[in-house]
Every structure is written in structure tokens, then in C-alpha cells.
Amino acid sequence: MTSDRIDAYLDDMLDRLEGTPGERRRMLTEAETHLRDSADAYQRGGMDADAAQAAAIDAFGDAPAIARAANRRRPAELIAACVRAAAQLAVYGFAAIGVATLLARALALVTSTQWVYGAPAGYRFSAAQCAHWLAVQPGATSCSSAAALESSDDSFLFILVAAVIGLVIAGVILAAMRLARRRPLRATARLPRTVVTAIGATAFLGAGVALLAAGATQGVSRVAWGQGVLYTDGVVALIFGLVFLVRFLVTIRPVRASAA
């Protein structure tokens, strides 16, 4: 078929191009138009179809070099792409914090506030600490229960508010960048989706494993507060990490033999 060489060339270029789907589509359209016009000109000069396509491709340049040139971004565009990706990941991060905070609160209702938020068994409270916690938690019957209740209130309120504020800030950044991209001649650089999902999967899965390990270690060493919080944080992080991992696997495009 007369289109074999050009089609294979375009397939190779598609595997190498970065950017948005629209950017890749426009680049391929321009390349195909140029290649076919050039091949037609060579055919009119007396070449057969296959030789004409080979000559057109040689004149245009090899796919890796063309893709590298098309993927090259100015520093400002790369910074904008990194900021956008960081804001996207921050949205998921703050959402995970909020979900984990709510889950820890629910877990305390079905288990105990002491296990989820409290100090480990054998923790020695100072007289000043006891006086403070019993004063702010008058319904508590002991130092440890007062401390757990205060930790529960502080964790739920402050962490949840911080998560909401973080979501708002990240959302404003993403909205501002989306509006900026709609302006004429505005750069639309993006990190490849596989890079963003790989970072998300690595960060969340790593955090999940570390938090669960910290919860298990606390159950043995009993040196830190909030064993239940560590477990809920770890489970939520693992769930988010698995979502990113699935998205990463879905977005991987198989590399064609022509790109090898």
C-alpha cells in the first residue's frame, strides 16, 4: 500500500509526542499534510509511490528528532506544567486528609476515642497536663481520657479545616491556570499524564505503607499518640495510591514495534 511508510512514520511520532491530545493531533495533521504533499511532488517527478514516500520522510527528518523538537518547552512553560501537576496532586492529597480525618472520627465512635486519638498505655502525664486537659474536658473521668478527647477535638477541627483550606487554594490555582490557557497564544504545556499518575501512585502508596507500619510499630513500642489515626491515614493513602496506580496502568500506551 502506498501509505505504509507515512503511516508507520506517523505511528512512531505519535508514540513519542508529548502534550495535550489536541497538540499531538495538530502536530500529526501538519506532519501528514507535509509528508503527503512532498511525496506527491516526488511522484510527479517520476518516482514510484514507495520511493516517493521514503524521500519525503528523509527530507522531513526522522521521527525521534522531530518529536524532541516538538516536545521542547520554554522554562516558563515547564514551570507552569509542574505547578499545574503539583496543584492536581495537592487536591487529591488534601482530599485524602479530609477523608482520613472523617474516617478516624467515625472509627472512634465504633471503637474508642482512646485507641484512635489517645496516648499509649503507660504514658506519664505531668500534673500541669492533667490539670489543663481535665479543665477543658470536664466530662472526662481521668487524665488519659481527657487527653484523648482533647486530641480528638483538635485533630478533627484543625486538620479538617486545613484540608478544606488546602483544597480551596489548590482549586483556585487550577482554575486560574485553566482560564489562562483559554487566552489566545497562551501556552498549554502539561506533564505527561503517566508522569503525574506515577508520582501520585508512588507518593500515596509509599505514604500508606509507612503510616500502616508506624501504626503497627506504635502498637509494639507505645511511644506515640493516635494509633487508630495512623491506621486510618494509612488505609486512605493506600486506596488513593491504588486509584493512581490503576490510572497509570490504563494510560500507558503500548509501544509499537516501529518505535523501537
Question: What pLDDT, in 10s, does the model give residues 196-220?
Answer: 999 999 999 999 999 999 888 875 5
Q: Which of 51, 72, 93 is the last residue of a domain?
A: 72
Are residues 44 and 83 both part of a single domain? no
CA distance 26 to 15: 14
Q: Which of 72, 88, 118 is the last residue of a domain?
A: 72
Residue 259, domain member (yes or no): no
Residue 236: which domain range?
A: 75-251
pLDDT above 50: residue 246:
yes
Reported pTM: 0.66
Residue 260, domain member (yes or no): no
Structurally, how many domains does the chain consist of?
2
Confidence bin at 155 (pLDDT 50/70/90): confident
pLDDT at position 1:
41
Helices and strands counted in the chain (H then E): 11, 0
Three-state DSSP class for residue 138: coil
Are residues 55 and 79 both part of a single domain? no
3-state helix, strand, coil split of the chain in percent (to 5) is: 80, 0, 20
Confidence bin at 257 (pLDDT 50/70/90): very low
Are residues 157 and 240 both part of a single domain? yes
pLDDT at position 260:
41
pLDDT above 90: residue 94:
yes
The fraction of the chain above a pLDDT of 90, given in percent, is: 27
Residue 154, domain member (yes or no): yes
Residue 258, domain member (yes or no): no
Q: Which of 72, 99, 123 is the last residue of a domain?
A: 72
Confidence bin at 73 (pLDDT 50/70/90): low
Three-state DSSP class for residue 169: helix
Are residues 13 and 86 both part of a single domain? no
Residue 198, domain member (yes or no): yes
Report in angstroms the alpha-carbon separations of 254 from 15, 36, 148.
8, 26, 52
Residue 16, domain member (yes or no): yes
Are residues 42 and 144 both part of a single domain? no
Residue 210, domain member (yes or no): yes
Residue 222, domain member (yes or no): yes
pLDDT above 50: residue 99:
yes
